[in-house]
Amino acid sequence: MTTSARRALQETQFESTVVEALPADPQSENVPRQVSGAAYTVVAPTAVVAPSLLAWSEDLAERLGLERPPSKGAAVDILAGNGLAPGMCPYAARYGGYQFGNWAGQLGDGRAITLGELIALDGSRQELQLKGAGPTPYSRFADGRAVLRSSLREFLCSEAMHHLGVPTTRALALVSTGEQVVRDMFYDGHPKPEPGAIVCRVAPTFIRFGNFEIHAASKEHVVLRRLVDHVICAHYSNFDIKDPATPAAWFTEICRRTAVMIAHWMRVGFVHGVMNTDNMSIVGLTLDYGPYGWLEGYDPNWTPNTTDAAGRRYCYGKQPQIGLWNLARLAGALMPIIEDCAVLQRGLELYRNTYRVTWQGMLAGKIGLDSIEREGDTALVDELFSLMAAVETDMPIFFRALGEHIVDREYRLIEQVVEPALYDASRFPADLRARWQAWFLRWQKRGEASGLDTSERQRHMNANNPCYLPRNYLAQLAIDAAAEGNVEPLAELLSVLRRPYERQLNRDAYASRRPEWARHRAGCSALSCSS
Closest alpha carbon to 226 in 237, 218, 215: 215
Answer with the entry of Mg ion, ligand AMP, none that 10 interacts with (C-beta below 5 to 8 A by kind). Answer: none
CB of 274 to ligand AMP, least distance (A): 5
Strands (E), 254-379: 270-271, 293-294
The number of beta carbons lying within 10 Å of the beta carbon of residue 527 is 23
Answer with the entry of Mg ion, ligand AMP, none that 145 interacts with (C-beta below 5 to 8 A by kind). Answer: ligand AMP
Sign of the C-alpha dihedral, residues 347, 349, 352, 358?
negative
For Mg ion, the nearest residue by Cβ is: 288
The CA distance from 338 to 223, in Å, is 15
The CA distance from 422 to 465, in Å, is 17
Answer with the entry of ligand AMP, Mg ion, none that 107 interacts with (C-beta below 5 to 8 A by kind). Answer: ligand AMP
Element (H, E) at 175: strand 170-183
**Residue 379 CB contacts under 8 Å (≥ 6 apart), including other chains:** none
CB of 143 to ligand AMP, least distance (A): 5
CB 83 within 8 Å of CB 115: no
The CA distance from 157 to 271, in Å, is 12
Q: Is residue 480 flagged as an active site residue?
A: no
The CA distance from 255 to 327, in Å, is 7
Taking CB under 6 A as the binding criterion, the range among 33-41, 228-236, 273-281, 367-375 that sits at the site for ligand AMP is 273-281
The nearer residue to ligand AMP, 131 or 400, going by C-beta atoms, is 131
Answer with the entry of ligand AMP, Mg ion, none that 108 interacts with (C-beta below 5 to 8 A by kind). Answer: ligand AMP
273 binds ligand AMP (CB under 6 A): no
The nearer residue to ligand AMP, 32 or 336, going by C-beta atoms, is 32
Total residues contacting ligand AMP (rule CB under 6 A)?
18
CB of 472 to Mg ion, least distance (A): 19
The number of beta carbons lying within 10 Å of the beta carbon of residue 184 is 12
Q: Which CA distances in Å does 247 have to 212, 215, 239, 254, 256?
A: 13, 16, 9, 11, 14
Closest alpha carbon to 323 in 209, 203, 201: 209
Taking CB under 6 A as the binding criterion, the range among 1-9, 57-65, 101-109, 199-207 that sits at the site for ligand AMP is 101-109
Answer with the entry of Mg ion, ligand AMP, none that 82 interacts with (C-beta below 5 to 8 A by kind). Answer: none
With vertex at residue 483, the alpha carbon angle to CA 481 and CA 489, rounded to the nearest 5 degrees, is 25
Catalytic member of 25, 77, 109, 278: 278
320 binds ligand AMP (CB under 6 A): no
Answer with the entry of ligand AMP, Mg ion, none that 144 interacts with (C-beta below 5 to 8 A by kind). Answer: ligand AMP
The nearer residue to Mg ion, 159 or 288, going by C-beta atoms, is 288
Among positions 137-156, residues that touch ligand AMP (CB under 6 A) are: 138-139, 142-145
Taking CB under 6 A as the binding criterion, the range among 63-71, 134-142, 355-363, 510-518 that sits at the site for ligand AMP is 134-142
The nearer residue to ligand AMP, 83 or 144, going by C-beta atoms, is 144
The CA distance from 470 to 497, in Å, is 7
DSSP state of 461: H
CB 111 within 8 Å of CB 133: yes
529 binds ligand AMP (CB under 6 A): yes
Binding characters for ligand AMP, 287-306, by CB under 6 A (x = yes): -x-x----------------
Binding characters for ligand AMP, 54-93, by CB under 6 A (x = yes): ----------------------------------------
Environment class of 57 (CB within 10 Å of its CB; exposed 0-12, middle 13-18, buried 19+): buried
Which of 198, 274, 413, 518 touches ligand AMP by CB under 6 A?
Answer: 274
Binding characters for ligand AMP, 102-131, by CB under 6 A (x = yes): -----xxxxx--------------------
CB of 518 to ligand AMP, least distance (A): 24
CB 18 within 8 Å of CB 40: yes
For ligand AMP, the nearest residue by Cβ is: 110
Main-chain phi, psi angles of 521, to 5 degrees: -75, 140
Task: Report the interface residues with Mg ion, using CB under 5 A.
Answer: 279, 288
State the catalytic residues: 278
State the residues that interact with ligand AMP by CB under 6 A. Answer: 107-111, 138-139, 142-145, 274, 278-279, 288, 290, 529-530
